[in-house]
């Protein structure tokens, strides 16, 4: 019934416009989601960078030296401390 008033071409054109508007809206929604996810990735990367810097600092502060000689063969362990201003490190 609607086809008689509008015609096949008009109905096809209208349907095409509706589909096109739907696709453009969906595209805009997906672009917003991508931007949000990129922000989350940047935030997570910043946290990773901070943690890597903390690990690097900890590794620089706590160095392990492999013991050698007779005592090492017997399973001896040693800990070295540094004293500065009546504090041990």
- Averages of pLDDT over runs of 10 residues in the chain (89 residues) are 69 92 97 96 95 83 69 72 67
pLDDT of residue 69: 72
- Report the C-alpha gap between 65 and 29 in whole angstroms: 56
Written in H, E and C, the secondary structure of 17-57 is HHHHHHHHHHHHHHHHHHHHHHHHHHHHHHHHHHHHHHHHH
- CB distance 74 to 67 below 8 Å: no
């Amino acid at each position: 019934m609607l086809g008689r008033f509008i015609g096949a071409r008009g109905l096809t054109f209208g349907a095409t416009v509706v589909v096109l508007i739907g696709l453009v809206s969906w595209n805009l929604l997906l672009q917003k989601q991508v931007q949000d996810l990129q922000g989350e990735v940047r935030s997570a990367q910043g946290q990773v960078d901070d943690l890597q810097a903390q690990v690097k600092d900890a590794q620089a502060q706590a160095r392990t030296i492999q013991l050698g000689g007779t005592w090492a063969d017997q399973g001896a362990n040693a800990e070295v401390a540094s004293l500065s201003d009546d504090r041990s490190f």
